[in-house]
Amino acid sequence: MKNERLVHLKLKLSSLAAEFRLIRNEENKRLKKHRKVLEKKKQSGELVDSSEVAPGYRSLHDHRTGIVRETARHNHLAYGFLREVPYAVMESRCKEEPDFGLIEKIAQRFSTVWSEEMWKTWSEEARGHLAHPSVPVAA
């Protein structure tokens, strides 16, 4: 039987991906509507500020690319840890180090049996990969 808690984490990842898509679709709707408004203004001879951003777009974009993306990343890394996937396989390159404390909390929440030794090994390998990302990893 599959680990039920792991199934819950997988569902959480799916819902975060769906939220990401929904927000992006809403962003696109607002941009499209804003472009139509700008085009009508141009056709009527009004002065148009092309640097103007669609109302509500910026907050949606920042939420999607900030909070939702980071939450999904940390949950994904916790899911990989629980499935014993090395960090280097999950993120071959990254711009900033993940919050290992948060990943640990998520992994503890969704694991049935917690192994401090396994976590220490995984996180140390991850930090080593972050320090030397060009070193090839055996999967």
Average pLDDT of span 15-35: 96
| pLDDT tens-digit map of 73-113 | 999 999 999 999 999 999 988 889 999 999 999 999 999 88
Q: Among 130, 58, 52, 54, which residue's Cα sits nearest to residue 90?
A: 130
Sequence ranges of the domains in the chain: 4-131
What pLDDT, on the 0 to 100 scale, is given for residue 137? 53
Average pLDDT of span 119-138: 83
The answer to whether 127 touches 90, Cβ cutoff 8 Å, is no
**What pTM, to 2 d.p., does this model score?**
0.86
What pLDDT, on the 0 to 100 scale, is given for residue 76? 98
Least confident window among 3-12, 41-50, 95-104, 123-132: 41-50
Q: Within 13 Å and on the Cβ side, how many CA atoms surround 92?
A: 7
| pLDDT tens-digit map of 51-77 | 778 888 999 999 999 999 999 999 999
DSSP 112: S
**CA–CA dist 87, 124 (Å, integer):** 10
**CA–CA dist 28, 35 (Å, integer):** 10
List, as own/partner pairs, every contact residues 110-118 make where C-beta atoms lie below 8 angstroms and the sequence separation is at least 24, other chains included.
110/5, 110/6, 110/8, 110/9, 110/78, 110/79, 110/82, 111/5, 111/82, 112/3, 112/5, 118/84
